[in-house]
Amino acid sequence: MRFRTQLKDTKTFSKLTASLSSLGKVCWMRLEYDVVRFTIIPDQGTQVWAQIPVDTIFEENTYEMESNSEAINIEINISNLNRALRSTFGSSQSQLRLTKKDKMPLLALTVLSTDWTEGNMALATEDQDQSSEVTGDRRARERETRITQEIPIKILHESAVDGLHEPHCPDPDVHIILPGLAQLKSISDRFNRLASTDSKSKFQQTGMVGAVESSTTGANSNSNAPTSGSGLSSSSGPKLELSANMHGKLKLAIVTDELRIASVWSALVNPPLDPAHISEQQLSQLPSERMRGVGEDDESGWAKVRIDGKDWSRVLSVGRLSPKVVACFINETALVLYVYLPGSWNGEESCLTYYINSFAA
């Protein structure tokens, strides 16, 4: 088993790992000849299956991968990898390789940085007391620094990952290209805050101590109690309602006893579905085609999902990669996001797929 490569686009790699690590720490990383797959399946919340072509993040001509099963499966703490990748910023050369130390498998990142800083230690002129002790070279010059980050990993046998498959979803009712994620996130976060102030005051009714932040009264029965108690514990947030139709409209809404807010985007694109996921003969009978037929103002033309606000916010952290995102709505069931990295919009292979379950009303 052998893996060694030079890193190409460490900024993208770092952003990718940062987005992934917001969903879960444990990541299954699968190195194949042409693609690298990252999968995070948290106990709760959204799972993500990412497929990145080797040359997106690695120097293809330095990529060496040898394994008798044609792939190397690694379990890694993705936030460790993300943290380590920060060392590569401003570096001239970074190498990632599989290695071993004391029988422990490691993913070693070696960074050679030649212009680490401006090298100008201006302190000599500023600090009179120290100037007499100066012996070092303080002029601006090139510094060479070597940084090694050794990340402990687990090697997974092929049999251990055999049972892991991407979820199967029904055909989407609506598919739509999401608006800019930065905007979507800021609005979602604002809705979350509004609703969580609301739910905080509900806690107060049950005896929690805290400052009253909202005018909630005792009449406020927990409309979303069944879902908020469903095990997401502290990570659980208010539920957002996201809906869309086949006429380029997307609606983000939040409904509590106190408030009902919605933002509507219009003139978005409903792209044709990727033939790789939907076969030709099904195309005509697709629910999305039926939905397209429904009139623009008809309520029944909308597909709706109810998602956890905090989880959604974590999903949207992928916005840092400034991707294009196709959202597939399966009414009242699930939301699947196909996140395409910039530059790979047409290429089907560079894609992160997020599977988000819809909560019951």
Partner 1 sequence: MTSLTLSLGPPALIKLHDALTCLSKFSDTVAIEAEHSVLRLSALNSTKTAFASFVCEKDSFFESYSFQAHADGRGSYQTQSQGSERFFCQILIRALLSIFRGRVDRNKDTAVERCEMEIHEDSNQAECRLTVKMICGLGVIKSYKLTYEPAAIQHAVFDRSKTTNQWTADPRFLKQIIDHFSMSAEQLDICAEAGKATFTSFTTKITEGKEVLKYPVHTSVTCDRKDFEEFLIEENMHIAINLKDFKAVVAHAETANATVTARYTLPCKPMQLAYEFEGIRAEFTVMTRGEVDGEEVSSARAVIPQLSQRPTATAPATTPAPISLRRNETPRVAPSTEMPPPPVRARSTMDRPSASASMDFDSLFVPHDDDRQWDEMNDEDEEEPQDILGWDASGQETFEPVLRDIEPDFSKPAASRKGGDSDEMGLPPTQRMSQVRGFGLFD
- Give the interface with partner 1 as residue ranges (CB under 8 A): 25-26, 75-77, 80, 83-84, 86-87, 104, 116-117, 121, 123, 126-127, 129-130, 133-138, 141, 143-154
Q: Cβ–Cβ contacts within 10 Å for residue 326, how many?
A: 22
Supply the DSSP symbol for 227: H
Residues 6+ apart with CB under 8 A from 72: 1, 3, 30, 31, 65, 98, 155
- For 320, half-sphere exposure in the C-beta direction (CA atoms, 13 angstrom radius) is 17
Question: What's the closest the beta carbon of residue 40 comes to partner 1, in angstroms?
Answer: 13
Q: How far apart are CA 114 and CA 289, in angstroms?
A: 56
Q: Identify which of residues 148 and 282 has a Cβ nearer to partner 1 in the complex.
A: 148
Question: What's the closest the beta carbon of residue 164 comes to partner 1, in angstroms?
Answer: 17
Q: How far apart are CA 198 and CA 311, in angstroms?
A: 18
- Exposure string for 121-144, b = 16+ CB within 10 A, e = fewer: eeeeeeeeeeeeeeeeeeeeeeee
Q: Identify which of residues 114 and 266 has a Cβ nearer to partner 1 in the complex.
A: 114
Q: Identify which of residues 119 and 229 has a Cβ nearer to partner 1 in the complex.
A: 119
| Structural contact between residues 134 and 124, judged by C-beta atoms closer than 8 angstroms | yes
Q: How far apart are CA 355 and CA 236, in angstroms?
A: 17
Question: What's the closest the beta carbon of residue 94 comes to partner 1, in angstroms?
Answer: 13
3-state helix, strand, coil in the chain (%, to 5): 30, 35, 40
| Structural contact between residues 239 and 307, judged by C-beta atoms closer than 8 angstroms | yes
Give the C-alpha distances (Å, rounded to integers) separating 178 from 12, 174, 193, 266, 325: 21, 12, 22, 10, 6
Question: What's the closest the beta carbon of residue 64 comes to partner 1, in angstroms?
Answer: 23
Q: Identify which of residues 31 and 321 has a Cβ nearer to partner 1 in the complex.
A: 31
Q: How far apart are CA 177 and CA 349, in angstroms?
A: 18
Q: Identify which of residues 92 and 117 has a Cβ nearer to partner 1 in the complex.
A: 117
Q: Identify which of residues 134 and 269 has a Cβ nearer to partner 1 in the complex.
A: 134
Question: What's the closest the beta carbon of residue 166 comes to partner 1, in angstroms?
Answer: 23
Question: What's the closest the beta carbon of residue 35 comes to partner 1, in angstroms?
Answer: 23
Question: What's the closest the beta carbon of residue 133 comes to partner 1, in angstroms?
Answer: 7
Coil, strand or helix: which one is 244?
A: strand
The DSSP line for 1-28 is -EEEEEBS-HHHHHHHHHHHHTT-SEEE
Q: How far apart are CA 244 and CA 176, in angstroms?
A: 7
Question: What's the closest the beta carbon of residue 43 comes to partner 1, in angstroms?
Answer: 15
Question: What's the closest the beta carbon of residue 135 comes to partner 1, in angstroms?
Answer: 5
Q: Identify which of residues 134 and 208 has a Cβ nearer to partner 1 in the complex.
A: 134
Q: Identify which of residues 64 and 144 has a Cβ nearer to partner 1 in the complex.
A: 144
Q: Identify which of residues 78 and 184 has a Cβ nearer to partner 1 in the complex.
A: 78
